[in-house]
Structure 1
Amino acid sequence: MRKLLSIVTPCYNEEANIDELCLRINKVMEKLDYDYEHIFIDNCSTDGSVQKLRGIAAADKRVKLILNARNFGHIRSPYHALLQSRGDACVLIASDLQDPPEMIEEFVQKWEEGFKTVLAVKPESEESPIMFFARKTYYGFVSKISEVPLVKNATGAGLFDRVVLEVLRTLDDPYPYFRGLLCEIGFPIATVPFKQPRRQRGITKNNFYTLYDIAMLGITNHSKVPLRLMVMGGGILALLSLLMAFGFLVAKLIFWDSFQMGIAPMLISLFFFSSVQILFLGMLGEYIGSVHTQIRNMPLVVEAERVNFD
């Protein structure tokens, strides 16, 4: 009996890419000796994506649809779909074709070698050089402060053995940093490097807020270093303030008539320490917000409909 490979594709307003994606995945799977199911999870698209997906699912029962009741974001929706897969392994790949479907063959090869987790990494990219540098810098920073080593330049695409998915199902995390969880689980991770192509059709769904959201999620979920730095930084600044105050006092006592402190140092000190306090409070707020999200224990998504799951 042939093994089953699940392929999960998150989708939001990708009408222009769906046909080519399905065609390229079919060509890849024809080369592999596996049965497969292709699970699309649509995050309440506003274009013609749902209608197109319904047509594809009607013609091919291997294509399954999960239609979300609303847009639950780019973090929760793909993770929910992964947990619904029933294959011996599951492949996660984006619908924008920037993670080429042809990588599935390399994912499977690494899996057959014995790796439980395989991740696509992009040491090169055709995206904006500024954005690529910012991402690379961020992943390097998070990897250094994280309690477990993270895979640098991972896109999120990859293959995950059923054993990995079973561990994820026990975590009950309502807002997961998926790439970090894979590293925390502890299975050796194989990587498949590729040069990420530029998006050909449609527009990216990421903006400053979504990128900031996932960046802070990676920090707050996997590192206590910022909290420790706030404690140590506060202590150092308090000591420096005490030394400066003592220095000014000594200078005033020795040069009582000639020493004039002026208003500029007072204003500079006031704005500096106020800015540091606001920064520390903001970082502390991010950790509190992360805790708040966890204790609410909301579902990852609410489904409006399923197609071809019976």
Structure 2
Amino acid sequence: MKRISIMTACYNEEENIAEVYAQVKAVFDVKLPEYHYEHLFIDNASEDTTVEILRGIAANDPNVKVIVNARNFGHIRSPFHGLMQCSGDAVISIVADLQDPPEMIIDFVRKWEEGYKIVIAVKEQSYEAQWMFKLREAYYNLLHKLSEVEIFKGFTGFGLYDKKIIDFMREFDDPYPFFRGLIAEIGFKAAKIPYTQPARPRGISKNNFYTLYDMGILGIINNSKVPLRIATLLGFLLSFVSFMTAIIYTVVKLFNWNSMPLGIAPLIIGSSFMFGIVLFFLGIIGEYIGAIYTQILKRPRVFESERINFKDEIQ
């Protein structure tokens, strides 16, 4: 019997974690009894009762494995580390807030049986706030256009990955990986299953502006050099325009020395505009340098404080 690994990353999800477990278990018990499965939870040092709930579940179900991180290692490193600890013939990533419908596991597995190494869920609609959905959609379109590899639009990471794909991802020596970019970089043909993302039933999202920005900018700098090229080209263009403006202004001033005012307002406006452009692209360059710095440090993605229901499996 083949084994499917389900990986759920969580942080302060005491309201939803038991329901996620129950729904995944029901899928395999009722719809996919021909498969063994494991459900691996990686907890990012939750401050509520999430870990206690997981300990109780794991004590009664040997299919459940739990990793508890020593501290909160963020929304990038912890889920990827969890995926790398899975040992199934295929691995499915599913979030803890029930916005990834567990019943789609059946569709993923059927497509995998057809021979696809990657099966992804593509979000076409969502019950989240429409302005947020449109903002995410605009970001996916931008990332798709800027990236040097094809980044799937509407793909959040929810999907199935064959063991071969997981093994490929283990070869990436990246301490801060952009998961969706790695999937695109590997390049295998993916089966796409459209879905409507349900609303979070309980609790509030643990994402904030910083985490969303972090993930968004990571996707761009890891998969595109276009911002750097824009900075270079815009620098040449503005330098040329500034040079031509200086020549024209000097000639006009020479012929109208007494009647042409100095024009403080244009100087202030022009200087402010130029400073804004310079600071913006300094920030872009800083993001790339920060990514390089992270790579050079080569720190482990997470440090674990506890493992539950792991026997002699290698980390």
TM-score, normalising length: structure 1 = 0.98
The equivalent of 2:13 in structure 1 is 14
Residue ranges of structure 2 left out of the alignment (5+ in a row): none
The equivalent of 1:174 in structure 2 is 175
Per-residue deviation, 1:43: 0.5
The equivalent of 1:39 in structure 2 is 40
Per-residue deviation, 1:19: 1.7
More moved, 76-85 vs 24-33 = 24-33
User: Are 1:82 and 2:83 matched, yes or no?
Assistant: yes
SS across alignment from 1:156: strand
The equivalent of 2:25 in structure 1 is 26
The equivalent of 1:287 in structure 2 is 288
Separation in 2, partners of 1:10, 1:92: 8
**Cα distance per residue 1:221-272 (max 9 Å; x no partner):** 1100000110000000000001111111121122222222310011011101
SS across alignment from 1:171: coil
Query: How many residue pairs get matched?
Result: 309
Separation in 2, partners of 1:214, 1:244: 40
The equivalent of 1:306 in structure 2 is 307
1:103-252 aligned at under 5 Å gives the runs 103-252=104-253
**Cα distance per residue 1:258-305 (max 9 Å; x no partner):** 222310011011101111110111100000000001110011110001
- Indicate the RMSD between aligned Cα atoms, in angstroms: 0.8
Separation in 2, partners of 1:280, 1:16: 43
Per-residue deviation, 1:202: 1.0
More moved, 35-44 vs 260-269 = 260-269
SS across alignment from 2:16: helix
Residue ranges of structure 1 left out of the alignment (5+ in a row): none
User: Are 1:267 and 2:292 matched, yes or no?
Assistant: no
Per-residue deviation, 1:104: 0.5
Separation in 2, partners of 1:196, 1:295: 37
Q: Which amino acid aligns with 1:204?
A: S
Per-residue deviation, 1:193: 1.1
SS across alignment from 1:20: helix
Q: Which amino acid aligns with 1:77?
A: S
SS across alignment from 1:16: coil
Separation in 2, partners of 1:190, 1:138: 22
Q: Which amino acid aligns with 1:188?
A: K
SS across alignment from 1:132: helix
Q: Which amino acid aligns with 1:7?
A: I
SS across alignment from 1:194: strand
**Cα distance per residue 1:138-197 (max 9 Å; x no partner):** 110011010101000112111000000111111121000000100000101111211111
Separation in 2, partners of 1:118, 1:251: 65
Separation in 2, partners of 1:23, 1:274: 56
TM-score, normalising length: structure 2 = 0.97
Separation in 2, partners of 1:191, 1:155: 12
Separation in 2, partners of 1:113, 1:263: 70
Q: Which amino acid aligns with 1:164?
A: I
SS across alignment from 1:15: coil
Separation in 2, partners of 1:218, 1:19: 32
Separation in 2, partners of 1:266, 1:274: 12
